[in-house]
Amino acid sequence: MLLVLALVVVLALTGCQPAAEPEPGEHEVETKETDVVVIGGGGAGLAAAITAADNGAEVILLEKMPRLGGNTLISGCAYNAVDPERQSKQGIEDSIDLHFQHTYEGGDKKGDPELIRILVENALDGLHWLESLGCEFKDEVYTVLGALWPRSHTNVKPLGTGYIEALENGANERGVEIYLDTKAEELLQDEDGRVTGVKAVDADGNEIIFTARKGVVLATGGFAANVELRSQYDSRLTAEIPTTNHPGATGDGIVMAEKVGAEFVGMEYIQLLPTGDPETGSLAGWLAPGVDQMIYVNKEGKRFVAEDERRDVMTNALFEQTDALMYVVSDANSVWEVTSFGETEEQLVEMGKVLKADTLEELAEKINVPADALVETVARYNEAVENDHDPDFGKKLLGHKIETPPFYASPRVPTVHHTMGGVKIDTLARVISKDGNPIPGLYAAGEVTGGIHGTNRLGGNAIADIIVFGRIAGESAANSK
């Protein structure tokens, strides 16, 4: 069912003279021993490594890519947490129970309630922990796409750079030994089934055995960049559908975990977003930061879905539109000085990612939609804002009219964003086997896990997830007997 990655074994030459032909199976393998081995250098892996070190463990972290960061580095950086201090200043009422309800029901009640409760109850503490590492957040919260409520925090720095800089510094300060360009290929077990280490290969093809005295943490991310694997679960997700993910999101941890008998949950739940760049699939290249500041119109110039809906609902609606293409339409009041992707309005317009016009009629001409339809659509939407009621699609977050020139539009298409399925874990982030018991010595956190988000992940819940469960996995591994 799942892809099985071929293991690479490189025969090493030793000595000054030409080496004799090696015997079958003969090779030189470097071995390193530590307390905890973390596989994956994104947000979850770094959080696990730091926490394991803080719990007295010696830690080695393996990252197959040339640098740390994973999807966290290129994320839109929204972090959901109930935050009374920030939210009260904006007049926002929120609660842990409401965040739980949104997450549980937003995933069609398919997520594990215990894991969801841990997520929502510890999200704010995770945010404060990031701040203690030097990560800075803006003062105001907002509603990122698909978050369902204004509890999304964003970094001062663009993308996920603020997260990774703080986490990388924290790991270095604690003496975490980091191996880049080092791909984990196999989990090693003893005769009792305990995971005792990792077989890996470096950039030169040299095999290295990393032995873990206490435990191994899987934090390898999802498989959105693996076309063959994702299309097994959703036939729409061919190579023609782009992804927001980095090239390394190929499901390596899924393959390794399967070989040691891990149970999987929710593999069929793959999230797409309706807001991908038509050329790259990236979420960069548009202006409106909050769903209350924009509308989506199709090639006929008409709205077709509530912009504050669940991500899966919006994407499925977009697939039903002409060419599965839409335009995000907003006005001057929606423009941040710098977007969360580090882009300015001037740059986006100059690159052609965003079309700008002084009138809606002119904007319609630039995006080749019927002018009368666009004008009527915006007028009807503004009326809905005025009445605080959207009779067409039931949008609830109606904070801003689209009425102040200049007006903006950005073309967007469906893009593969998040794989909700993965290894099953318990509340201590222990990986569960097919027989229902924890696999000794194996822990997991982040997108490699399943069972938290159900059928649909809320926007802004992923960063909270990787920090909360990354810390739990690191602590559990460090304290393993």
Tokens at 219, concatenated: 């934090």
Pairing of strands 195-201, 183-189: antiparallel
CA distance 176 to 106: 37
Query: Active site residue: 311, 412, 457, 471, which one?
Result: 311
For the chain, how long is the longest CA-to-CA vector?
Answer: 85
Q: Which structure tokens are listed for 257?
A: 């975990």
311 three-class SS: helix
Task: Give dist(CA 481, CA 466) in Å, integer.
Answer: 24
Cα gap 393→301, rounded to integer Å = 16
d(CA 329, CA 346): 17
* Short-list 296, 220, 211, 307, CA closest to 257: 220
Side-chain half-sphere exposure of 194, counting CA atoms within 13 A: 13
Tokens read off for 357: 């016009």
CB 302 within 8 A of CB 333: no
Measured at the CA of 288, the angle between CA 74 and CA 145, to 5 degrees, comes to 60
With residue 46 as reference, give the H or E element that holds it.
helix 43-54
The answer to whether residues 234 and 61 touch, using CB atoms and an 8 Å cutoff, is no
> Could you tell me the two tokens for 319?
């697939």
Q: At residue 71, what are phi and psi to the nearest 5 degrees?
A: -70, -25
Instruction: Based on the residue annotation, tell me whether 311 is a catalytic residue of this protein.
Output: yes
Cis amide prior to 150 (ω within 30 degrees)? no
Whether residue 92 contacts residue 81, with contact meaning beta carbons closer than 8 Å, is answered with no
- Residue located via tokens 């807001």: 275
Cα(366)–Cα(474) distance, integer angstroms: 52
Kind plus residue range of the DSSP H or E element containing 30 = strand 30-39
- DSSP readout, 53-75? HHTT--EEEE-SSSSSBHHHHTS
Residue corresponding to tokens 């689209």: 402
Report the sign of the C-alpha dihedral through residues 144, 40, 413, 285, in that order. positive
d(CA 35, CA 186): 18
Residue type, 95: S
What is the Cα–Cα distance from 180 to 168, expressed in whole angstroms? 13
- Which residues are marked as active site? 311
